[in-house]
Chains A and B, each alone.
Chain A
């Protein structure tokens, strides 16, 4: 499976935007970029996914570089409930492969 690289941790102030980066230089043409998050003591939760174009949903936005070798998950206004581990995963016809993700801390 193609691998992703994410910072181990990031910190944000409440109600500020958060940009979570992910590098995936070995992405293949058919891989989708998925983001999941895991709140403390909970199961993973789907956030957003995309292939080539930027995507928006009620939870977040996903900005995908033109060469698809990197992407950024954008939380427009971080809340305390957004404190979680965020996983960037390349998804082909394979199961989800979770890395260590980025632990996001939100400061009130």
Chain B
């Protein structure tokens, strides 16, 4: 069964450093998403991506964040200058379309720890 994969599973970085989190969505899916979950809190939407551009973003997704689909398979989230409060689980998801009828398939997540 196809699945969303994410690398690395755990990333430790120093405050102020740049990090890139990687995701490989399901191959025939067209919509891609990033969510985050701070320890003990809700899963929060960050950004959705379709047709090589951002289709929607939340208030969390400020200028420090960017997303890219550099090739036909990877989908990345870059945090330009990490802060302590960026420590969280980051989940990538993909969906065949943006229709409310379609489910989203989530990856296992990357745990980001900012020291």
Contacts and interface: CB of A to CB of B under 8 A. Distances in A.
Given A43-B91, A95-B33, A100 B98 contact: no
A46 B109 contact: no
Interface residues of A, number: 23
B106 interface: yes
Interface in B15-39: 33, 35
Contact of A100 (B42, B45, B93, B101): B42
Given A97-B45, A98-B42, A98-B44, A44 B106 contact: yes
A27 B56 CA distance: 22
A44 B43 contact: yes
Chain A interface mostly? loop
B104 interface: yes
B48 interface: yes
A93 B105 contact: no
B103 interface: yes
A49 interface: yes
Given A43-B108, A44-B106, A30 B100 contact: yes
Contact of A96 (B89, B104, B108): B104
Interface of A: 30-32, 34, 38, 42-46, 49, 51, 87, 91-100
4 closest Cβ pairs, A-B complex: A43-B106, A46-B103, A98-B43, A95-B45
